[in-house]
Amino acid sequence: MRQTVVIIIILIMSLTCSGCWNRQELDQMDILLGAGLDIVDNEVLVAAQVARAGILAADVPQEPAFRVYSATGRTVFDAIRNVTLTSANKMFWGHHQVLLIGEEFAKDGIMEGISFFARDHEVNRFVDLVLFKGDIEEVMNMHVAKKSLPMLELRSLIENYAANAKVIEMPVSNFMKINSTPGICVVVPILTVNEVAGQSVFKLDGTALIAENKLVGELTANETRGLLWLLNRVKSAILVIDVTETAKKNDFAIREVSLEVLAASTKIVANGNLKFTVESEVEVSFGEDIFREKIYRDQESEIKAMIEEEAAKLIEREIERLLEITQELQTDPAGFGRAMYRQRPNEWREIEAGWCEETYPSIEVSYDINVSITGRMMLREYDSMN
């Protein structure tokens, strides 16, 4: 009897449920793929790229598969709300892929704009930040060669960063976390646009350095790898090593070698008195060697040792170049200050206030880099024949 009463009550209660009270149909929403921020006439410009679902479904090649809405306002939130004056549908930010930051916006103060995307409950906090030094509205309206939705093309480029260790990924969530961590400064990848065979092609090329929430400088793609070593974010890379001079001394007929990084582990050790040690273990394999003649079996271990030493020197040079640039610009994107904050908190408290401006430019760094080559370099059996 009791079970019957419970079932009746449940059935009665279910009649009062009306389903999704705040649902919206797909044709009543604009699916936002990417947005851009910049400063125009002392106001914040927001440009939003949305997918045209009807065009995508119909597969009409002559029609663009996206539309761009833009508006200005006193703040980012104000400008986003003003976009609704030109868009009849509500924008859905849950699939937001990329947030482009204009150069003027970055120079004015990047944190003020990013805070909205970290706070708003409708926004995807894992959206990737990218700096673009050009017209934000123009790049948002640009048709790229490979995909009908440009922001998805850019997102694919960012996802491929791990293959070359020359681009750094920076989602909004990571930006906020780094920005609130003592002793480290944030960075953002840079987008450029090239013309190839009459078509626009996106390229991620370099890294923007941010200090005190403002753009202060840039790294090239090759200089970015020095930063990635220190951040322990090198997952894969190709190290091209010129061993001509060393090979001549040892009578080896090798000019250049390409090594593929299979694994890398790097950490910064704070030794005290503003002295640090960069400890790195890198595992590589042979990918290619140029101008190679016969290599005999009894020479292989000696050649591998020589190449391992040269590879360690190359990594050290890349890190030193990164330090040279960032110490001059007084920004610490690698987190030497963070290492001291975590490992030597008492010493850190004494120098925290003027770390980037006064202390970081004068730190001393030593290196303990070990490169090990896995596998053999001989391709043919007769390489071992005398």
Domains, the chain, in order of start with CATH, read 26-219 (no CATH), 226-384 (3.30.300.210)
Return the closest-CA partner of residue 162 out of 228, 239, 235, 71: 235
Confidence of residue 11 (pLDDT cuts 50, 70, 90): low
* DSSP string computed for 319-361: HHHHHHHHHHHT--SS-HHHHHHHH-HHHHHHHSTTIIIIIGG
- Least confident range of 32-41, 58-67, 175-184: 58-67
pLDDT band of 145, cuts 50, 70, 90 = low
Q: What are the tens digits of pLDDT across the range 100-127?
A: 999 889 888 887 778 888 777 777 778 8
More confident residue, 144 or 210: 210
Euclidean distance between CA atoms 87 and 95, whole angstroms: 18
User: Is 180's pLDDT higher than 60?
Assistant: yes
- pLDDT attached to residue 375: 75
Q: Please identify which residue in the block is written with the tokens 């833009």.
A: 70
- Percentage of the chain exceeding pLDDT 70: 80
In this predicted model, which residue has the larger pLDDT, 226 or 377?
Answer: 226
User: 303-329 pLDDT, tens per residue?
Assistant: 788 889 999 999 999 999 999 999 999
Q: Is the pLDDT score of 62 beyond 90? A: no
Looking at the DSSP bridge assignments, the partners of residue 29 are 90
Query: Is it the case that residue 266 has pLDDT exceeding 90?
Result: yes
Region 230-247: mean pLDDT is 83
Q: For all residues of the chain together, what is the average pLDDT?
A: 82
15-20: average pLDDT: 55
Q: Are 325 and 334 in contact (CB under 8 A)?
A: no
**Percentage of the chain modeled with pLDDT above 90:** 38
C-alpha span between 245 and 248 (Å, rounded): 5
Judged against a pLDDT cut of 70, whether residue 137 lies above it is answered with: yes
Q: Which residue has the higher pLDDT, 93 or 46?
A: 46
Q: Which of 276, 363, 367 is nearest to 313 (CA)?
A: 367
User: Residue range 166-188: average pLDDT?
Assistant: 91
1, pLDDT greater than 90: no
Specify the 3-state DSSP secondary structure of 297: helix
pTM of the predicted protein model? 0.83
pLDDT over 70 (residue 19):
no
Asked if 279 and 315 touch (Cβ cutoff 8 Å), the reply is no
Q: Is the pLDDT of residue 92 over 90?
A: no
Residue 154, helix vs strand vs coil: helix
Burial of 132 (0-12, 13-18, 19+ CB in 10 A): buried
Q: Tell whether the model's pLDDT for residue 347 goes beyond 90.
A: yes
Q: Which of 179, 174, 149 is nearest to 161 (CA)?
A: 174
pLDDT-derived band at 374 (thresholds 50, 70, 90) equals confident
- Answer for the pair 332, 362: CB distance below 8 angstroms, yes or no: no
pLDDT at 295 over 70: no
| Model confidence pLDDT, tens digit, residues 221-233 | 999 999 999 999 9
